Structure 1
């Protein structure tokens, strides 16, 4: 791989939640040009409160991505991530980073400008773009025909999700992304989706019409990092093929080229479901279902067991992504 910074492979990673920073942190150590496109549909916790009070894009997922790509010392990052405890009545639950992003959004007339400035301040190794600068809301239709708005409400509705889309809260304007996001996608050597919540972290980005069209029309390969565990309220009982089927159905074509699937088993009773407030099972592999969708499957031990839960091993995943770019036997 060339040492010329201008010739580094361009990898665009799209998603949100806690899974995306794990992959970005490891990719940062590679000789690649990273662009992270981050969901803006979160409406829970500190992000949701800030959005409601200040009418700004929810900053939480953006904050975590900035930290994962930052070269600042640990103390600086810990301060940026610091969340006030419940004893602080006025600031309870808010992180300093969320407040800084919100303040700069107000000062500099928009979240795009704010993230650009913070990226320089935090010595971010890559590019971070909100999926949209508009105030978007996630909406869903369930199998029973009912509809609901709001990412938090959808996740905890305890219903099977049929379809999701995004709407512009403050106007009738069609949700859209900016030209920098489109250019990054169209010029990418590889587009990576996930890992993350299928309906609430990945699809909200792809449901922005011009962003989704760019992913479909980009000449680069699209790689989906399949979740290791199902997610209650979103993907109960899903196989890996079911995840891909939902993505393809939402965009109207089989656009997923490669799927990374973990094949290592999680020990019985390892996950502390009370601690993580999560009732989930390991995603099962459906080879035939994936083959029917014409995508290449790469199985490996991508599992990292830590803190009584199951995560992706960022280093192993990033190593595989680089091999996909360099190895024609894998990418063609």
Structure 2
């Protein structure tokens, strides 16, 4: 399917495709847009929880939440506009719903298609680059646990993993044949760098790799492929995972020689901040000697750096450090 964008092209800027979803992707995009205007964010639409899930169920549209977050991350507009799009209602039937989600739902109704809704909203927000859904199909995410049980629904997976005390073996989507957008494939083919993550491994990153032929399209692209490992494990999704465990899951859902680089954190987290996360069931994902050894055996180049940024006791990636690392790799790959 074809989506038309008319954003200005900055030919000297590295062309970077970032694939994922959730908070991790939007944080990265806020930093990356300061270094290049040629950004394409390919975003998961497999989520079915929260306000997005309600709109998906009620209106039959694709879930707008991750799309909205990435558009706002790339927006070049007045702060008042961003506050408006981020505003969440706290009363009545709209409780928990964001204005940005409702705006995209309205645009979807006006133009009769989600792709045109994104395009028009992108113009309103004057975004840097493009935001593209991974597919226009109404996909549902499933997880097969190590005990053989099949879990239906992205928002249900972490709860059922904890309830069953069984880790995720694999994830898959229905319909199994869901096609990517042409603009996404074009961006992948023209990219100087293709980035996976950061974000929820099984519910934000890997779903994008399940789209029809996308793994081969990414693999055959000339650009280096980089995976950004999470800083903390995610309860009910990656409990006890090492850096290499994250990488191996990516490879299990793609192919063994899929990645060229992995970026991972080596910075210790202050105890006063870490204790809260440990209490919630998370643990740090720090590079260890075994990770270095296993990645080297697979021919994957590890970039281990201090990547921590703590804001109001929340741990996240330092998007400026991360962006500089990515731009350096992209510039080396440019002909």
Range into which the TM-score falls when normalised by the shorter chain: over 0.9
- RMSD of aligned C-alpha atoms? 1.8
- The answer for the alignment partner of 1:161 in structure 2 is 168
Q: TM-score, normalised by structure 1?
A: 0.92
Deviation digits for residues 57-86 of structure 1, max 9, x if unmatched? 00000000000000011111000110000x
Aligned ranges 1:1-332 → 2 under 5 Å: 5-85=10-90, 88-157=91-160, 158=162, 159-168=166-175, 174-271=177-274, 273=276, 278-285=280-287, 286-327=291-332
Residue 299 of structure 1 aligns to a residue in which SS?
Answer: strand
Structure 2: unaligned runs, 5 residues or longer:
1-8
Q: Distance in 2 between matches of 1:67 and 1:230?
A: 26
Cα contact 2:178–2:211 (8 A) shared by 1: yes
Q: Distance in 2 between matches of 1:240 and 1:32?
A: 30
Higher helix share: 2
Deviation digits for residues 85-114 of structure 1, max 9, x if unmatched? 0xx221111101001111211221221111
Q: Distance in 2 between matches of 1:244 and 1:300?
A: 17
Question: Structure 1 residues 255-264 or 101-110, which shifts more?
Answer: 101-110
Which protein, 1 or 2, shows the higher relative CO under an 8 Å CA cutoff with sep ≥ 6?
2
User: After TM superposition, what 4+ stretches of structure 1 lie above 4 angstroms from structure 2?
Assistant: none
Q: 1:240 to 1:212 in 2, by over 3 A?
A: same
Q: TM-score, normalised by structure 2?
A: 0.91
Q: Distance in 1 between matches of 2:276 and 2:108?
A: 37
- Say how many residue pairs are matched: 320
Residue 116 of structure 1 aligns to a residue in which SS?
Answer: helix
Deviation digits for residues 261-280 of structure 1, max 9, x if unmatched? 11100122423637x98320
Residue 156 of structure 1 aligns to a residue in which SS?
Answer: helix
Q: Distance in 1 between matches of 2:16 and 2:104?
A: 25
Residue 39 of structure 2 aligns to a residue in which SS?
Answer: strand
Q: Distance in 1 between matches of 2:327 and 2:251?
A: 24
Structure 1: unaligned runs, 5 residues or longer:
none
